[in-house]
Structure 1
Amino acid sequence: MASSPPETPGSFRQLSGAQRKAFFAAWLGYLLDGFDFILITLILTEIADDFDLNLTTAATLVSAAFVSRWLGGLVLGAVADRYGRKPAMIIAIIAFSVGSGLCGFAWDYWSLFIFRAVVGLGMAGEYGSSATYVMESWPKSMRNRATGFLLSAYPVGTVLAALAYELIVPATNWRWLFYIGIVPIALALYLRRALPEAAEWKEEVEGRKDVTTSSMLFSARRRLPNTALAILLSAALVFIFTNSGGGATPWLIALSVLCFVAFAVQLAGRLWPVMIAIMVTVFCAFLYSWPIQSLLPTYLKSDLGYDAGQVSTALTWAGLGYAAGSCLAGVIGDKLGTRRTYVLGLFVSLAFVFPAFLLPAGNVVLLWVLLFAMQATSQGISGLLPKYIGDHFPTRLRAAGLGFSYNVGALGGAVAPLAGAAIADDIGSLGTALMVLAGSLTVVVALIIGFDLPARIGRALNIDSDAPAFVQKERKTTSGR
């Protein structure tokens, strides 16, 4: 018999055995997700040499996983809302594992692009299902820590990927990094047998077929139109992010936006303007973080001339900073509040972004320190993002609402490497391009979250919702009268 997560625990040690088990399983899944996803950024130069690609074209392979993420977030989020968080998490792990393994067999640019898109489907589902699974298994008083601690797994996965790159690529070739990406399937088999379902979902949603996202999106009368809409949107995004659209690209972008709005209206109902605002917030967040995530290895190798070992060490320190920052953000977020902590972390990060990319080659130890501090504050603070987004949706819509809005916004990650490479081509410095994008977009995101724009839009439209972002505000207003 499911019971609500207790409100009294204040530390990890006070959680029940089932809650700790749920966390560690989801954490391990997200670690392997980060390992598989980041591999492409480590070997862009090797792939470009093998397939005779320039840097801008090779960078679109990073974008491939982002092109499919919206679909993974939508479909696997709907599965999680209808059938439970655990089965969606298992499907996601299998998807990104199979996609990663297939990448090792790629024979040209397009085959690798397609296989990376499969990885994107799984990663999107993993983000939404794991985050909602842990949040809804933990007490509400600890949910910033739940997501902050969970997202610390992703950079640990990137650190392991960097170490694997250092050990494997010089001795063999880049394909072996992808072959080992199929290992997480073993975790999926374990999860299927060992984990309970999230208590909050079981109490509020299980058995209610009429209120979940799957019933809204995939009902008999909507199934075929939405399938056609998904195919049209996917084709438009492929043309856009492979630079194949030519003069039609502006029209393809407009078409994509309309398709996303159509899905948001169906998915969120009256909350759709709030969902669109969250998508914009996440899009900007990826524009400040993903140029560094995706192009930092290339910058260290091409601009600073570091070898594979030095690149691996630098990425290890950056990843450790990200992990430490995520955990710290969760602890502070439960004390100061999600938005206040988020904005504070973003502004502190600006003190490290500019020195990190103005540092000349040869200052290896100082580079490690700056990358650690920069990622702890700028990227680590995103450990609060699932909690921030999830607060805008009720439990019955949370997995798909979080998964879809986050992964549509994550298209900023597809734009980011292209923007970074294009700016670098114009000004002749990849480091300066990364510094400009990270610095400017950090301020934009801080302002959006600081002024609470998504929830403010919802309140301005008099949207009635039992989502925490609206209920909490309502309680504060009532108590202040």
Structure 2
Amino acid sequence: MATSPPAIPHSFRSLTGQQRKAFFAAWLGYLLDGFDFVLITLVLTEIADEFDISLTKAATLVSAAFVSRWFGGLVLGAIGDRYGRKPAMLLAILAFSVGSGMCGFAWGYWSLFVFRAIVGIGMAGEYGSSATYVMESWPKTMRNRATGFLLSAYPIGTVLAALAYEVIVPVAGWRWLFYAGIIPIALTLYLRRALPEAAEWQAEVGDKPEVTTSSVLLAPRRRLFNGALAVLLSTVLVLLFSQNAGSAAWPLAVIVVLCLVTFTVQLAGRLWPVMLAIMVTTFCAFLYSWPIQSLLPTYLKTELGYDAGQVSDALTWAGLGYAAGSCLAGVVGDKLGTRRTYVFGLFLSLAFVFPVFALDSGNVVLLWMFLFVMQATSQGISGLLPKYIADHFPTRTRAAGLGFSYNVGALGGAVAPLAGASIAERTGLGTALTTLAGVLTAVVALIVGFNVPARIGRALKIESDAPALAMTKSAPETPGSKTPDPVIPDVPETAERKAPRGL
């Protein structure tokens, strides 16, 4: 007697209780991540005054978290591939909470720089582990919605941070804003007991540690070399982004590239050109988005003359637009396809960048409206970025692949405030933000639209069971496909799996 195929989940109502719990836990962790991470952008002027440094020097504190993100994405990603997505996510929450709380005790520029670097490690791990945890807990037919709705938590966290800034800083000072960042530690105690492990990771990897990235990076012959390489890379990045490199900036930048390529080749094996293309894409994405995220509060306070309450209102509308756009991007992405939706959103956002920075301080309501729509289309569409990146990596190395490639690309976020501040010295901050956002948005749209990373993999004839690479060998992705998720079989052990060559 024939049996009908199982129903294919296409709506939130069809999710199981465990899948909903997994999403809510990851969403809450990412919300608190956004709260902790954005705090520094709200108090740059206050910090500059207390530590007697220039605003340009204070802006490097935004970059401090990006200096360590490559390390957090790599290490916590490797932990996620080896021990599971859940423990990596919990460690990430713990790291950014502790780092944020310590910022409140900073006694000078360098102590605050170090504490922000700890926040960066946690944020990097949170992005990679949360995204992979939710995607691998949800059906394949709903994974754009999984990442889109997940990333909506980040801007809501920034909205809460803006509200906290308005309430706390005028009364108690900027340090108490960071003390509030310790709150997420309590969340880890609940999540540790309440959460299941991601189903797809459990099925494909489970107790098979030899197939994960940790076995590649921590092989006996590589441990000392990789440790020394990590120390060198971290030192050079600190010199560069604290603006202490002087005339050696360009040689040091070359060292950074060489170190990152070395890690990439080890991690990705023959797939390393594809991973580098993902990093370039993400780097450009941060260059168009992070000048606005990091310097918008400064722009509102210095060029428009807004007070703390008005800045908070502006950031609230911007954050709500980001959140709404992320959710909408996820829904549309599952219907039209990830890349098509991503490109359309990016080009649409270009229509709103110039009006935001052309308005004067008197057009308050109109500015809030334009900020909402601009962030919904430019930032909100990045809710698809975890899905887009993750499709280029197989399950057994997805957490480290996503975490490392995304967070190396996130160095664009370290460059962004410095680039914005540098251009602003000649053109004004509004013009600088408009230029960076407009040009780099178009670049990212073209890279994603022409499917550059996957085309590189196709040109090099790289075999991989990563979805994006598999699609280049067979039929392309069909949005809204009715094909049910296949049951993941146990993978037999082979000599190649026991000694993996990257991805």
Query: Which of the five TM-score ranges fits, normalised by the shorter chain?
Result: over 0.9
Report what 1:453 is aligned to.
452
Q: Residue type of the partner of 1:177?
A: L
Render the CA deviation track for 1:142-184: whole Å, top value 9, x for unaligned.
0000000000000000000000000000011000010010110
Residues 265 and 272, structure 1, Cα contact 8 Å, conserved in 2: yes
Give the Å deviation of 1:477. Answer: 6.2
**Whole-angstrom distance in 2 between the partners of 1:230 and 1:396:** 23
Separation in 2, partners of 1:343, 1:24: 28
Indicate conservation of the 8 Å contact 1:274/1:458, yes or no. Answer: yes
Aligned to 1:178: 178
- Aligned partners of 1:7 and 1:139 also within 8 Å: no
Instruction: Report the alpha carbon displacement of residue 474 of structure 1 after superposing the two structures with TM.
Output: 2.5
Which residue of 1 is the match for residue 57 of structure 2? 57
The residue type paired with residue 434 of structure 1 is: L
C-alpha contact (below 8 Å) 2:326/2:382 kept by paired residues: yes
Give 2:212's aligned residue. Answer: 212
Q: How does 1:259-274 map to 2 (within 5 A)?
A: 259-274=259-274
CA RMSD of the aligned region, Å?
1.1
Given that 2:346 and 2:442 are in contact with CA atoms closer than 8 Å, whether structure 1 keeps it comes out as: yes
Aligned to 1:248: 248
Q: Distance in 2 between matches of 1:275 and 1:56?
A: 33
1:243 alignment partner, SS class: coil
Q: Distance in 1 between matches of 2:242 and 2:453?
A: 31
Correspondence for 1:468: 467
- Aligned residue for 1:422, secondary structure, equals helix
Kindly provide the amino acid, as one letter, of the partner of residue 464 in structure 1: E
In the alignment, structure 1 residue 23 sits paired with structure 2 residue 12 = no
Q: Secondary structure at the match of 1:220?
A: coil
Alpha-carbon spacing, 1:220–1:313, altered in 2? closer, same or farther (3 Å)? same
Q: Which residue of 1 aligns with 2:110?
A: 110
1:13 shift after superposition: 1.3
Contact 1:104 1:176 in 2 (8 A): yes
**Whole-Å separation in 2 of the counterparts to 1:284 and 1:470:** 22
Contact 1:81 1:397 in 2 (8 A): yes
- What letter matches 2:43 in structure 1? I
Match of residue 148 from structure 2: 148
Cα distance between partner residues in 2 of 1:267 and 1:471: 19
Q: Which amino acid aligns with 1:209?
A: P
* Match in the other structure for 1:47: 47
Report matched runs for 1:231-380 at 5 Å: 231-380=231-380
Distance 1:477 1:293, change over 3 A: closer
Asked if 1:100 corresponds to 2:100, the answer is yes
Residue 478 of structure 1: how far off its partner (Å): 12
Runs of 4+ in 1 over 2 A off after TM superposition: 472-475
Q: Which amino acid aligns with 2:466?
A: A
2:282, 2:321 → 1: CA distance? Answer: 21
The separation in 2 between residues aligned to 1:115 and 1:469, in whole angstroms, is: 37
Q: Which residue of 1 aligns with 2:188?
A: 188
2:497 maps to which residue?
Answer: none
Q: Per the alignment, in what secondary structure is the counterpart of residue 28 of structure 2?
A: helix
What TM-score does the superposition give when structure 2 sets the normalisation length?
0.93
CA contact (8 A) 1:319 1:372 kept: yes
1:31–1:156 Cα contact (<8 Å) kept: yes
- What's 2:83 paired with? 83
Corresponding residue SS for 1:170? helix
Q: Which residue does the alignment assign to 1:164?
A: 164
Could you say if the C-alpha distance between residues 53 and 478 of structure 1 is closer, same or farther in structure 2, counting changes exceeding 3 Å? closer
Cα deviation 1:313-348 (Å, max 9, x = unaligned)? 000000000000000000000000000000000000
- The equivalent residue for 2:8 is 8
Letter in 2 for 1:11: S
The aligned counterpart of 1:3 is: none
Check whether the contact 2:454–2:472 (CA below 8 A) recurs between aligned residues.
no
Contact 1:7 1:141 in 2 (8 A): no
Partner-residue secondary structure (3-state), 1:91: helix
Q: Give the CA deviation at 1:220.
A: 1.6
Q: Alpha-carbon deviation of 1:475? A: 2.6
Find the counterpart in structure 1 of residue 393 from structure 2: 393
Contact 2:471–2:477 at 8 Å: present in 1 too? no
Q: How far apart, in 2, do the equivalents of 1:352 and 1:478 lie? A: 31
Residue 443 of structure 1 corresponds to 442
* Shift, 1:471, TM fit: 1.5
The one-letter code of the counterpart of 1:128 is G
Q: Please give the alpha-carbon distance, in whole angstroms, between the structure 1 residues aligned to 2:212 and 2:306.
A: 51
Contact between 1:7 and 1:140, CA under 8 Å: does it hold in 2?
A: no
- Please name the residue that 1:414 is paired with: 414
Question: Counterparts of 2:222 and 2:213 in 1: how far apart (Å)?
Answer: 12
Determine helix, strand or coil for the equivalent of 1:188.
Answer: helix
Shift of 1:209: 1.7
Q: Which residue of 2 aligns with 1:137?
A: 137
The CA deviation at 1:470 is 1.4
The offset of 1:120, in angstroms, is 0.2
C-alpha distance in 2, partners of 1:340/1:391?
15
Return the alpha-carbon distance in structure 1 between the equivalents of residues 25 and 234 of structure 2. 32
Following the alignment from structure 1 to structure 2, what is the Cα–Cα distance between the partners of residues 12 and 71? 35
Offset at residue 45 of structure 1 (A): 0.4
Instruction: Give me the whole-angstrom Cα distance separating, in 2, the residues matched to 1:227 and 1:174.
Output: 36
Letter aligned with residue 249 of structure 1: A
CA distance in 2, matches of 1:366, 1:426: 27
SS for the counterpart of 1:171 is helix
Secondary structure of residue in 1 paired with 2:172: coil
| CA distance in structure 2 between the aligned counterparts of 1:355 and 1:128, rounded to whole angstroms | 34
219 and 433 in structure 1: CA distance in 2 versus 1, 3 angstrom threshold: same
Identity percentage of aligned residues: 78
Structure-1 separation of matches of 2:76 and 2:464: 23
**Number of equivalences:** 473
Give, as a single letter, the amino acid of the residue that structure 2 aligns with 1:473.
Answer: T
Q: Which whole-Å CA distance do the structure 2 matches of 1:151 and 1:300 have between them?
A: 25
Give the Cα separation in 2 of the matches to 1:202 and 1:370: 44
Counterparts of 2:440 and 2:476, CA distance in 1? 31
CA separation in 1, counterparts of 2:406 and 2:12? 27
Stretch deviating more after TM superposition (465-474 or 346-355)? 465-474
Q: Distance between the aligned counterparts of 2:272 and 2:354, measured in 1?
A: 37
